[in-house]
Amino acid sequence: MRLRNLRKEKGISQLKLAIDLNMNQNSISRYETGERQADYTTLIKFADYFDVSIDYLLERTDNPKINR
């Protein structure tokens, strides 16, 4: 998942992201390392937060834009 790259590009710490999304910092770390898989609700939160598509988050496309 591209979560770590998106977070670093925005200059956001794991803790800030966790607070902004009402999550645990440990969970953010586990998503970034692949120890844990995000469920649909969490993927939507990440996609909305970074304004990218879920496909981009999951590396199914290199186009970050949301196709609507």
Residue pair 21/49 in contact by the 8 Å Cβ criterion: yes
pLDDT digits (tens, 9 = 90+) for 2-52: 999 999 999 999 999 999 999 999 999 999 999 999 999 999 999 999 999
Give the architecture (CATH level 2) of 3-57. Answer: Orthogonal Bundle (1.10)
Ranges of each domain in the chain: 3-57
pLDDT band, residue 67 (cuts 50/70/90): low
Residue 48 is predicted with a pLDDT of 96
pLDDT above 60 (res 68)? no
Nearest to 52 by CA among 17, 5, 6: 6
Residue 65 is predicted with a pLDDT of 86
Residues 28, 17: Cα–Cα separation, whole Å: 8
